[in-house]
Amino acid sequence: MALNSYETIYILKPDVTEDKNLTLVNEYKLLIKKSGGQNVFVQHRGRRHLSYNITHYYDGIYVQMNYEGSGALVQILERSMRFNESIVRYLTVKQNALQGMSI
């Protein structure tokens, strides 16, 4: 079974501590690996100003995760993010296979 490449970006509330942020990153990395995902790469994008307020927050902490997995894995990951009160938004995009190649 071929795995698809995905990119998930989530925005944390600005009052989340660095320790809580690292705990969430490790929790989601473990969830991805436990659900059959692989090649997990995490980038902390830092605190940024939001274009519009989301639930009365004007700033957010951005975290980007790239990984390979199945569509079922994405559903499990997004369900976990939906019920996490520290996350204000998340988005998962399926990466094109040719995106990383130069033509």
| pLDDT level of residue 103 (50, 70, 90 thresholds) | very low
| pLDDT level of residue 98 (50, 70, 90 thresholds) | low
54-63 residue pLDDT tens: 888 999 999 9
17-41 residue pLDDT tens: 999 999 999 999 999 999 888 999 9
Helices and strands in the chain, H and E counts? 2, 4
CATH number for domain 4-85, candidates 1.10.287.3610, 3.30.70.60, 3.50.70.10, 3.40.50.10540: 3.30.70.60
| Separation CA 103–CA 100 (nearest Å) | 10
59-93 residue pLDDT tens: 999 999 999 998 899 999 999 999 999 999 999 99
**pTM of the full predicted structure?**
0.85
| Separation CA 17–CA 41 (nearest Å) | 21
Q: Which residues contact 74 (CB under 8 A, 6 or more apart)?
A: 6, 8, 92
